[in-house]
Amino acid sequence: MSTLLISTCENRLSEREFVYPISEILGDNDHDILNFEDCSKEIVSKYNRVILCGTSLQDFAYISLLPFFDTLLKNFERPILGICSGMQILTSIFGISGLIDNVEIGMVEVKTLEPNKLFDGNFEAYNLHNYSVQDSDKFSVLAKSESCIQAVKHVSKEIYGISFHPEVRNEKIVSNFLLI
């Protein structure tokens, strides 16, 4: 089954830090990498799942591009995983209005609140973000840290968001997503 990694990086050099490590986790699993600028609805529709990768702390371009991502992903009916900025994009287009200022850098303790297909139990995760998402009736909160929501799942679709970066210490989460 083919997976599309979509880079949310305006500066393509950042892809080395936020996209290529996800590709390495996927290994021999069939996947492609495209920067958001090179994506269209038609291209995305050819894939079985999408991973919307994170970007650097200084990159805010994705916020002004929410209408683009809405058009790109709103009618995609297969599994989607949003990582960091990817989570912020997904929750914004699928039901949460607005982001919360919340700088979180470094390792945090994540507490699992609901059983899910990505992870279980409490664990440490690496965070690198300026924003968090708000609670919403469109998403179930799967996990939290002391300061914010760390993982969500859409209430009726296989759409997941994680605020932390699984490529740093929680690679199994990406592998588990491939099983959905």
CB of 110 closer than 8 Å to CB of 152: no
Q: What is the DSSP letter of 153?
A: E
Q: How far is CA 92 from the centre of its chain?
A: 12
85 contact partners, CB below 8 Å, separation of at least 6: 8, 52, 54, 55, 59, 62, 129
> Which residues sit opposite 50 in a β-bridge?
4, 80
Residues identified as active-site: 84, 165, 167
Task: Give SS3 for 82.
Answer: strand
